[in-house]
Every structure is written in C-alpha cells, then in structure tokens.
C-alpha cells in the first residue's frame, strides 16, 4: 500500500504503535466481565472466549499486531462493510439507496418491527434486513458467481495476495443456515411487500456465506487502512464517504452513539467478537475478543479501542 497525496505529509502517527498495542492487549485481554460468547449460532459458541488480538495498519502499509492476530474468525456483520462497498461500486449509490436507507436504528440488529411499522425499506445496510437486501441485489445480478465476486473483492480490500484469498468457513455457513428463523422472517417479509430483488433462499444463501467469510485482525485492519487511505484504486471517494458515514452512525447498532462518544471513529462490529475501526488518513484498526455485551459488541474490544483512540489521539484533537 502506498500513501495517498493527502497523507504523505505525515499525519499518520506511527511512533510507538507496537508498544501501545502490546500494553493495551495486556490491559484489555481479560476485560470481559459481563460478556458472553454468541450462542444462537452454534458454531460461534465453540470459539475460545480467551482469544484476543489487536492489529493496526497505517496508510503507509505498515501492520502492527499483538495477541492472537493469526487466528481466523468469521467476519459476521463486519462483512457488511465489504458487501456495501461492493454494491456501491457495482450498482452505484442511487440504486443501492433506493433499496436501503441510511438512518440509524434504535432496535436490535435483527428486529423486524421497523419494517412492519414504518417502511418495507430497511433503515440502513448494517442491520440484518438491510444486509439481506444488499445481498439480494448482488445475488440477482450475479447469480452463482456472487460469492466468488464478493470474496475476491473483500480479499483485495484486505491486501491478500493472489492465490491466498479469504475463504468461507463451511461449518459456520451450515450453522448459520440451520438457525436462521429470524433472518428468514425478515427476508420473507421483504418479499411479501415486493421489496426483495431476488428470491429468499438465494438472498439468504449469499448473506450467510458473506457472514461466514474468515479473516484475522491483520486482514481487517488492512481493510480499515484501505478506507482510511481514500479507497486506494479499489474504491471511489464517494463509496468511501458513504461507508465511513454509515459506520459512524450505524456500525455498532444501538450502541453506535456510545461508541462515537468514547472512541469517536467509524467502526463496524460483528457477533464473532470482532470490531473493524477506521482512523481516516491515519490507519485501520481491528480487534477480536469473543465475549459480547447485551447489544452484541465485543466487551474487551470496545475497551481496547477506547484506550487506543485516547492514547494515540486518533480523533485528531
């Protein structure tokens, strides 16, 4: 990765990153009180709750990591960042945002209430109904080639070399598929109102496979750095602005406001225990710790990002 013109002036703070990561890893690894590993997807219940990793990739392409940073885990809802970027690049924002909104949601990420009460258009692409809608757009256009295209695109964002791309964990995919009653309800409701572009099963199959893509924190921090660096040659600035804006307002579901106060950076969480975070023009950051709070966000990950943002003054103030 080469730094863009806007960051060659030295805005990225690289001094002492490794020491900070190591210190925060030691401090936050066990800060999981009250957290529980996601169990509604059976395969996720098998993840070691003691795992912890923290990675940062600067806009200049340097990656620093601490903890279990080579451990792969399913991206779950973090994959919604790549899916949205892919859809925006493929279909354009006008078409995408006709099918899904851009507003935060105060309800749980898998809630059907807002669809029923206000509109058949999902409030944003990061709640489950919105991500299923994005998957349906992609599935309608690409059919059986959809997951391969999304995997290749996500691998590019993650800086993976050709021949070493990201892959789908089939055990997690099967586990997701077998316990998906709520997501099926969302998809069938959207189909009943004529909103879903593609068939329910085709849409959900792609959605579950995207959630089951495996990555580590080094991969995710590189995705963050790609966004922090203006998208490089992979994304338009219009796409980057849309993705970062939605990460800022909707990325941690009903805890997005609290995260904005404490951390102050665009981010996206997943029930795997991962959080992808972006410090624009500086770096991408990713943390992984499986125990979740009641809103579905990593307890130790939230604490680690709070500490890192403050220590490195990543808000720019």
CATH number at residue 276: 3.40.710.10
Residue 271 falls in the annotated catalytic set: yes
Catalytic residue from among 253, 263, 298, 309:
253
pLDDT at 126: 95
Do 195 and 234 lie in a common domain?
A: no
pLDDT at 13: 56
Do 40 and 88 lie in a common domain?
A: no
Do 86 and 58 lie in a common domain?
A: no
**Grouped pLDDT means (10 residues each) for the chain, 317 residues:** 40 76 96 92 94 97 97 98 98 97 72 64 92 98 98 98 96 94 92 94 98 98 98 96 97 93 97 97 98 95 97 88
Do 160 and 195 lie in a common domain?
A: yes
Do 185 and 38 lie in a common domain?
A: no
Do 102 and 206 lie in a common domain?
A: yes
Residue 168 falls in the annotated catalytic set: no
Q: Report how many domains make up the chain.
A: 2
d(CA 251, CA 262): 14
Catalytic residue from among 129, 207, 254, 263:
207
Its sign, for the CA torsion 267, 316, 63, 67, is negative
Global pTM value: 0.92
Residue 254 falls in the annotated catalytic set: no
Q: What is the DSSP string of 152-168?
A: HHHHHHTTPPTT----B
Cβ atoms 114, 106 nearer than 8 A: no
Q: Is residue 141 in a domain?
A: yes
Catalytic residue from among 53, 69, 77, 111:
77
Catalytic residue from among 271, 278, 287, 299:
271
End residue of a domain, out of 171, 191, 211: 211
pLDDT at 6: 36
Q: Is residue 26 in a domain?
A: yes
pLDDT at 124: 94
pLDDT at 58: 97
Task: For residue 195, count other CB atoms closer than 10 A to its CB.
Answer: 18
**Which residue, among 189, 75, 180, has the nearest Cα to 122 in the 3D structure?**
189
Structural domain that includes position 249: 12-76+214-312
Q: Is residue 4 in a domain?
A: no
Catalytic residue from among 80, 99, 218, 268:
80
Q: Is residue 317 in a domain?
A: no
């Amino acid at each position: 990765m080469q730094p863009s013109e806007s960051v060659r002036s030295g805005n990225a703070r690289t001094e002492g990153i490794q020491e900070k990561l190591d210190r925060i890893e030691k401090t936050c690894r066990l800060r999981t009180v009250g957290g529980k590993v996601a169990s509604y997807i059976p395969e996720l219940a098998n993840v070691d709750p003691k795992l912890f990793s923290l990675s940062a990739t600067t806009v200049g392409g340097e990656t620093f990591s601490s903890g279990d940073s080579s451990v792969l885990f399913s991206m779950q809802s973090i994959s919604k960042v790549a899916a949205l970027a892919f859809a925006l690049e493929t279909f354009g924002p006008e078409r995408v945002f006709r099918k899904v909104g851009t507003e935060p949601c105060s309800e749980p990420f898998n809630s059907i209430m807002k669809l029923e009460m206000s509109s058949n258009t999902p409030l944003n692409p990061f709640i489950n109904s919105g991500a299923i809608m994005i998957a349906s757009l992609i599935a309608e256009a690409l059919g059986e080639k959809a997951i391969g295209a999304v995997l290749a695109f996500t691998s590019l964002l993650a800086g993976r070399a050709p021949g070493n791309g990201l892959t789908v964990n089939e055990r997690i995919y099967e586990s997701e598929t077998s316990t998906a009653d709520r997501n099926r309800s969302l998809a069938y409701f959207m189909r009943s109102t004529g909103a879903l572009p593609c068939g329910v099963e085709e849409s959900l199959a792609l959605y579950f496979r995207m959630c089951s893509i495996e990555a580590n924190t080094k991969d995710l921090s590189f995705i963050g750095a790609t966004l922090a660096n203006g998208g490089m040659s992979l994304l338009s600035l219009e796409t980057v602005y849309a993705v970062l804006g939605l990460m800022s307002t909707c990325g941690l579901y009903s805890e997005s406001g609290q995260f904005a106060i404490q951390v102050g950076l665009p981010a996206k969480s997943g029930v795997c225990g991962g959080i992808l975070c972006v410090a624009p023009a500086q770096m991408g950051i990713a943390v992984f710790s499986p125990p979740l709070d009641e809103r579905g966000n990593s307890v130790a990950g939230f604490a680690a990002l709070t500490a890192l943002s403050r220590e490195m003054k990543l808000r720019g103030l």
